[in-house]
Structure formats: structure tokens, C-alpha cells
Amino acid sequence: MDKRDLAIRQLRAAFERRPKRPLPPPLPFHQCANVLQFRWFIEITSLLCYGAAKLDPDGFRTFLDRDAADLVVGETLLEALDRSRFCSPDGPERERWDRVTRDVLGDTEAAFEAEAMARAGIKTRATLYKGSHWIFVRRQEGAITLSPQSSEGTASFAAVAGVEQCKVAADLGAEALGRVVNDLFAALDDKAPPGGSG
């Protein structure tokens, strides 16, 4: 055995003797949705989630009038959350998560944007996102957290000073939940720079 082989064996033995790091504890069950308010309509979409949240090409997605009533917004958001898929590493949805994660070119996002642009009758992503708002919604352990942001460019959003993340009970009624969403959008309209970027 030459010196190189001996060195390799010694390194392997040292590696195998090292204490193994324990696996991190599993994340608690949660469900997520996007609520996007464009200048023409509201889009509500269920998400795949486990730590991160990703667009689900086979998930729930619908469009509402921009001035949709609180009850309609709340019922639709609750349906999106109900249909959000939690993809734990050992769960039945893991294969779907792995497939969506491999969508490095953003094919799902591009398809969703193309449909939204066609619905709005416009031709550019910059026009689509100008003046838009986004609320990321997460339901976990008896609470729903709503995180509002406004457009700062094409498909880029940022928090707005004076419009804070809020948390409500998960059993809040649909109409009351829709009122929270519509109030957040009204606050973003009031506080965000006119027209947004794009």
C-alpha cells in the first residue's frame, strides 16, 4: 500500500469516527397561499410548502374582481389554504416538491404571468406588476399570518413602512378574514409610492 492509499484510508476512518449531526426536527404542519392584487383583479393561489413556499402548477388558482366583497375574498383564501400541500421529506407529496424544485427556469411562474397578462390585456411583465401588492399567507398551529408587501419592480416586492404583518386566529370567519385582506390592500394603496415601480 502506497502513502496515498494509506492517507485516503486514514481520512475515511477519521470521517466515519466523527459524531453524526442529528437531523433537524421536522417542521410543523403549515399551509400557504399567495394573494396578489393587480390593477385589474386579485389572484389567489395555493402553494406547496415545507420551509420555503413554491408555486404549485397543479394547485388551486383563481381570479377575483379587484373590488371583491370581503366574504368572497375570505372564502377563496380559505379554499386556497385548504388546498395548499405540505411536503414533508417523508410525506406523500415529496416527489411533487422535488419536481417543482427542479423548475429552475421558472416555467410555472412564467405560465402564471402569461395568463394574468392575457387576462389584463397587456403585453409586458413591468406593466402587470406596476402598482401591484402581494400578501403572503401562512396558516400554522391555530393562527393565520398575513405578510403584506408592495411592488418595487417586476415580480419584486418589499415591505411598506406603516403596513405591518398581522396574525389572526385560524378559525376566524371567512368574511372577517376577507376584511383583513382588503384592509391590508387599502393600507398598501395608501402608504406605497404612487403607481409602484415597473
> Given a cut of 70, is residue 105 above it in pLDDT?
no
**pLDDT, tens digit, for every residue of 111-160?**
999 999 999 999 999 999 999 999 999 999 999 999 999 999 888 999 99
Q: What is the pLDDT of residue 93?
A: 78
Domains observed in the chain = 29-191 (3.40.1590.10)
The reported pLDDT for the residue numbered 198 is 46
Q: What gap in Å lies between CA 65 and CA 148, rounded to an integer? A: 19
Q: Average the pLDDT over 165-184 and give the result.
A: 98
CA atoms of 122 and 54, how far apart (whole Å): 25
pLDDT score, position 195: 55
pLDDT in tens, 12-51: 877 677 776 776 778 899 999 999 999 999 999 999 998 8
Q: Tell whether the model's pLDDT for residue 80 goes beyond 90.
A: yes
Q: Which residues of 112-144 are buried (b: 16+ CB within 10 A; e: fewer)?
A: bbeebbeeeebeebeebbbbbbbbbbbbbeeeb
Taking each helix axis from N to C end, the angle separating 174-191 and 70-82, rounded to the nearest 10 degrees, works out to 110
Say what the alpha-carbon torsion angle 71, 176, 179, 66 is, to the nearest 10 degrees: -20
Q: What is the pLDDT of residue 17?
A: 73
On average, the pLDDT of the chain sits at 90
